Structure 1
């Protein structure tokens, strides 16, 4: 569709074709148009003049003329003298469109005014990438990110490296949250070494879905499972809420340079403790694996080791053992672990172990 539209509509946003002019004008007047109205003019989506309505994906809403004008002018200024003529045409084109829509009333408190495009749907990898690049170029102070999943693939780290290096060159500070599993990825360690003290990383057992925050003014989050849709958020209330979520997770997270805390129970690793807590909540293997950033196969291997260590012959018995030793809580203190050992819970060293069964070493 993208290539077809480019052939039939070889123009920029500052000189729309006749069909595109009609549909975009209608969208500005009415606030939105049915998606099928834009089928004959794919140029409007390709040029980001229309984007999906967050409340109803069967409708498209217009990008405000003022925002389009700003975007065009940013590129125009970069081209300096060779683009002076284009600057004039961009302004001329969108002044007329801006007059079609309702005019904003003067706000009594400009500090609390909501941006015109508080929520924008970005459809397709190129559109998402372009918006991230624009936000990176405008960023001056801080970037906060949450990166779910396990070990980061090398190609993902490479793709984001050019943005990270540009931010570092401007003195922008970055803080990244990962799952504990990401600690085992050499690519991530190499990336952090390359970035030096401009990036600080911490890890948690599990984190929220992907989040990127620039200067605490604009946020990007996925809008569907396969991440072909994203939301660009500029509403101050939403962005403030996401910053608060990040900061609270950050306080709970463990610096990448620090070791993970010991569980206090011999033979049970930190990851197995996390799996046990999620098992106690009733989650299935696939859900646990996704939340902790590991494969289902790895998850089941840890569950098998838990069963062996705790002397459980079935899933039901494993649930009982998890509750007995206190692994159904997210943390087990050293004092609790001492009580467990003294109490002699089956399968725990110091208690009544299963005959002929050795406890595996800590992992």
Structure 2
């Protein structure tokens, strides 16, 4: 069933949220107008964050695109309404850009010194991301109070076709909740590697916006939109990613998953034998050995046979 288009009460509540900087507490909005609050969440104009029970205003242009996609999925009979969605939300777009848009993008680098506002800014950017999120997360254990929400956010991002790649430090391997979380999200499709070198916290969204610390204690952040600077940060991430190790997060979490490959074959591969030599030693066809090696390469995210042999010899530890 299509969501009902916004009425004047919805518009009034949305403008009120914008007047508060684009973020209000969920309970406050519900007290003011519960019907309008729930309708704006349904339309995608407000995002409800369960960790701190807050609401964040989303760009109406982004919401309009998603609303249009939902309408298209309901069939050809709603196609006309889907095409009208941007126009129907134009008044929201004007209010959003007047209240927040020009302020937030008045500079290619914006410094934020409040942790709540930093999270709010990141959540707003995430809501408008369509293709890729790159993350460098130094330190060991991830904050457990955020892991459940992070898992659901990751599930939503991947379902929307957003590619996710994350760098951790080796200490993350020794924290069971973090390793279990990493195993869960890699099952969903996120790629997480471990870099045994110092690196800086970094988030990059669609290679257009980067967020990085602006102080040693991470209490302030810089939101960077300058294309040249973002390109340099992406290049640095890719350099670190290429040096980082692929790890078996299931094994780190105490739940190793079988590869379906005979242990003898794995041992011979680790010893450096060629595909032909392994087939001869085990009395298998080269085609069968090739299929087993393909499964191992997928399991270990190895791009070449040389890299796979290196990983088999413990190169990822």
Rg (Cα) greater in structure: 1
TM interval, shorter chain, is 0.3 to 0.5
TM-score, normalised relative to structure 1: 0.42
